[in-house]
Homo-oligomer: A and B are copies of this chain.
Amino acid sequence: MTKTNTPIIIVNFKTYSEATGSKALQLAKNCEKISLEAEIRVGVAPQLVDLKQIVKAVSIPVFAQHMDPIKPGSSTGHVLPESIKEAGASGTLINHSERRIKLADIDTTITRAREVGLTSLVCTNNSAVSAAVASLKPDMIAIEPPELIGTGISVSKAKPEIVSGTVELVNRINPDLVVLCGAGITTGEDVAAALRLGTKGVLVASGVVKAQNSYNVLSEFAEATARA
């Protein structure tokens, strides 16, 4: 989902009640609706149990929330890259702040994603870590200062220089890397600010999932990015 300049919104469903089971399916359909109507590309990252059903129901990119750096074999309770691919997903989040993994495992998971044909989106917490991840050559990164996650305070407002500085720093190491920004995104203005600071879009969770009307929030995002 990285060829054009159309802004990218990826909605992380986390393990919220509002995004589990049949509610996850409905939320994914709302995301697809806005994606068809407006000039934004919306992807979803549902829970693993709901992933395959959502892939079948919608035509937008679907990401796993986590994937293990393993090959097929004896690994009970782990997430096999091949299982994500065969389910029809487009990619996977890696190293989300709520699911941090070891450095060597980030490297191997990116490699495994490439091998099976999945887009890798690595979450990072600051500029130095973002630069580090750039050397591992994932497809995308999302910078999310953990102290802002779930606060409603957007990183693009609270720490704009982290966002613009990170975009510059990582693109010096890896010019093809798509940078998103996350943490605290709740309004269209947050999304527009993220784009003005050089990112290609946002990774958002509670701002959409826990909204009274997720479709309306995404509409606001789309309108704000059209003006940005």
Contact = CB atoms under 8 A, between A and B. Distances in A.
Interface of A: 12, 14-17, 20-22, 45, 47-53, 65-66, 70, 72-80, 82-84, 86-87, 93, 95-107, 125-126, 128-129, 131-137, 149-150, 173, 205-206
A76 B135 CA distance: 24
Contact of A15 (B72, B99, B132, B133): B72
8 contacts: A12-B76, A14-B74, A15-B70, A21-B82, A101-B103, A103-B129, A107-B129, A129-B136
Contacts of A93: 76-77
Nearest to A85: B21
Given A87-B49, A136-B132, A17 B102 contact: no
Nearest to A95: B103
Contacts of A205: 74, 76
A77 B94 CA distance: 9
A57 to B, nearest CB: 12
A206 B73 CA distance: 10
A98, A99, A132, A205, most chain B CB atoms within 10 A: A132
Given A15-B76, A103-B106, A103-B133, 15 more contacts: A17-B72, A21-B86, A49-B49, A49-B79, A66-B78, A74-B205, A95-B103, A101-B102, A103-B129, A107-B126, A107-B128, A107-B129, A129-B136, A132-B133, A135-B135
B135 A75 contact: no
Contacts of A87: 21, 49-50
A11 B47 CA distance: 24
Given A76-B93, A76-B96, A205-B74, A83 B129 contact: no
Contacts of A75: 14-15, 98
A103 B138 CA distance: 15
B82 A77 contact: no
